[in-house]
């Protein structure tokens, strides 16, 4: 699909030029479609058109995968780790390279507690990652990987794009590095929303066995109080009470694209 989109994008200007004298509307239409074929899978996090994006995993049990973005954080990461210990839950932390450099001990502690690390870019350029050129994409991925390895001695194989948006260059870079792009199936926009109840209910309504939950850490209000911790606590407590376990799935269980998950 990616190659077809690229091919169409390359020939679209020539088709547009050929059609221009006969039908301006048709000519503009071809150009518009070529742009939309690139823009849609770029801006839609779960779209598979540019390459595989994990959105769930296979399981016969009531298991879910909790993924936590934007850390580590000096104050919040230790609290989250204690919370996960309390419920015997495991999670994957998609960390930002510059924060790993700032909090190497917290990064290492994530592994010590039995959790997993993933690459969430070096600087988290949320507004521009989707339109960065190839060299900048590679730099964001590689520098984050290097910082994680410096802090922990471990090389990560999972990547989540900032805001989930990727462009034509992301998958080729990941393939060469033997990394996989991880999306989600359940989120509540806790990276921007502050209403705990609304965020939690939004996430829980999409939870099924095999679901991938996206939450964030490291946000504070004007008084210095954590915005995300209470959301994560409610999600873990309520789902644990419903009989769910939080696991880190094997890569052989990964599912790319949407599927109907068991209730």
- Mean pLDDT computed over 29-37: 87
The whole-angstrom separation of Cα 211 and Cα 6 is: 32
Which among 69, 70, 73, 190 is annotated as catalytic? 69
Collect all residues with Cβ–Cβ distance below 8 Å to 163 and sequence separation of at least 6: 45, 126, 129, 130
pTM for this entry: 0.91
Q: Where are the alpha helices (DSSP H) in 113-224?
A: 134-152, 170-176, 196-204
Element containing residue 119 per DSSP (H, E): strand 116-119
Domain ranges of the chain: 2-43, 54-256
Instruction: Check if 216 is active-site.
Output: yes
Q: Which of 115, 124, 171, 216 is catalytic?
A: 216
Q: Which CATH number fits domain 54-256: 1.25.40.80, 3.20.20.370, 3.40.50.970, 3.40.50.720?
A: 3.20.20.370
Cβ–Cβ < 8 Å for 95, 145: no
Residue 69 annotated in active site: yes
pLDDT of residue 205: 97
CA 219, CA 73: separation in Å to the nearest integer?
9
Give the residue-averaged pLDDT of 10-16: 86
- Is residue 161 over pLDDT 50? yes
Question: What digits encode the pLDDT tens for the residues 104-146?
Answer: 999 999 999 999 999 999 999 999 999 999 999 999 999 999 9
| DSSP 8-state symbol, 164 | G
Ordered DSSP codes for 27-93:
HHHHHHHHHHHHHHHHHSTT--TTS--EEEE--SSSEEEEEEEEE--TTHHHHHHHHHHHTT--EEE
Q: What is the pLDDT of residues 196-246, one digit of tens each?
A: 999 999 999 999 999 999 999 999 998 899 999 999 999 999 999 999 999
Separation between Cα atoms, residue 242 and residue 203, nearest integer Å: 14
The distance from CA 19 to its chain's CA centroid, rounded to whole angstroms, is 41
């Amino acid at each position: 699909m990616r190659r077809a989109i690229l091919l169409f994008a390359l020939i679209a200007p020539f088709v547009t030029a050929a059609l221009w004298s006969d039908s301006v509307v048709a000519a503009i239409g071809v150009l518009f479609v070529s742009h939309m074929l690139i823009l849609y899978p770029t801006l839609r996090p779960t779209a598979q058109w540019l390459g595989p994006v994990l959105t769930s995993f296979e399981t016969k049990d009531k298991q879910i995968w909790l993924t936590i973005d934007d850390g580590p954080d000096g104050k919040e990461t230790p609290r989250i780790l204690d919370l996960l210990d309390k419920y015997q839950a495991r999670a994957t932390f998609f960390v930002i390279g510059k924060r790993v450099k700032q909090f190497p001990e917290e990064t290492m502690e994530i592994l010590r507690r039995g959790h997993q690390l993933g690459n969430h870019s070096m600087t988290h350029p949320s507004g521009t990652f989707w339109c960065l050129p190839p060299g900048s994409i590679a730099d964001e991925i590689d520098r984050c990987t290097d910082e994680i390895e410096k802090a922990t001695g471990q090389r990560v194989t999972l990547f989540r794009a900032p805001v989930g948006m990727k462009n034509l260059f992301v998958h080729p870079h990941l393939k060469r590095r033997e990394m996989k792009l991880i999306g989600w199936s359940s989120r509540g926009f806790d990276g921007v929303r502050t209403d705990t109840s609304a965020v939690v209910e939004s996430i829980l309504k999409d939870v099924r066995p095999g679901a991938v939950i996206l939450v964030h850490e490291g946000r504070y209000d004007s008084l210095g109080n954590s915005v995300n911790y209470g959301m994560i606590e409610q999600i873990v407590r309520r789902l644990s009470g419903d009989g769910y376990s939080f696991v880190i799935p094997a890569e052989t269980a990964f599912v790319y694209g949407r599927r109907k998950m068991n209730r």
